């Protein structure tokens, strides 16, 4: 319970500080890398992801299928990996599925792309926020490459 409270407080601080802005960086891309989003907890939600590294920022795009039609889901970059989850590092844009259960979302993170030794991963949660414990479980996850 204590970890959930700490995670929620971190989320509110990030939201208040604009932690997951949608602005597109004007910096020139320096590299593009791809990753896979795998289904978690029997959700059937999977897809692909792409990171475009820039100077002072990086852009994360995820494309998912298998979501409930017209559903919304909070997403983050977390520390750790899909097999060894950690805390929230950066808030990403909300994932909103269309009527077929597909979604594409792009988020800009205003820091250099420098994956720590312990790793980073993109996590899409079950619901639109973390105010209810049932929204917290992961439905799709993708480890971010260090390159």
Q: Which residues of 48-70 are buried (b: 16+ CB within 10 A; e: fewer)?
A: ebebbbbeebbbbbbebbbbeee
Is the separation of the CB atoms in 36 and 142 below 8 Å? yes
* Six token digits for residue 122: 């993109």
Q: What is the pLDDT of residues 83-117, one digit of tens each?
A: 999 999 999 999 999 999 999 999 999 999 999 99
The count of C-alpha atoms lying within 13 angstroms of the C-alpha of 119, restricted to the half-sphere facing its C-beta, is 14
Enclosing domain of residue 114:
2-143
Residue 101 sits in a domain whose CATH number is: 2.60.40.200
* pTM across the whole model: 0.79
Residue 67 pLDDT > 80? yes
Work out the pLDDT band at 5, boundaries 50, 70, 90: very low
Mean pLDDT in residue range 37-44: 97
- Please tell me the distance from the alpha carbon of residue 85 to that of residue 42, in angstroms, as a whole number: 17
H helix or E strand, kind and range, residue 79: strand 72-81
* Six token digits for residue 49: 């992801």
Work out the pLDDT band at 41, boundaries 50, 70, 90: very high
pLDDT of residue 43: 97
Q: How many domains does the chain have?
A: 1
């Amino acid at each position: 319970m204590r970890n959930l409270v700490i995670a929620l407080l971190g989320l509110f601080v990030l939201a208040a500080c604009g932690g997951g802005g949608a602005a597109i960086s004007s910096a020139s891309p320096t590299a593009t890398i791809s990753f896979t989003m795998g289904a978690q907890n029997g959700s059937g939600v999977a897809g692909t992801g792409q990171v475009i590294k820039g100077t002072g920022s990086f852009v994360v795009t995820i494309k998912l299928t298998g979501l409930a039609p017209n559903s919304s889901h909070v997403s983050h970059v977390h520390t750790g990996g899909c097999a060894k989850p950690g805390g929230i590092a950066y808030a990403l844009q909300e994932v909103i599925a269309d009527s077929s259960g597909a979604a594409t979302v792009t988020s800009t993170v205003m820091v250099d792309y420098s994956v720590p030794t312990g790793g980073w991963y993109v996590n899409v949660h079950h619901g639109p926020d973390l105010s209810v414990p049932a929204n917290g479980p992961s439905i799709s996850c993708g480890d971010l490459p260090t390159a």
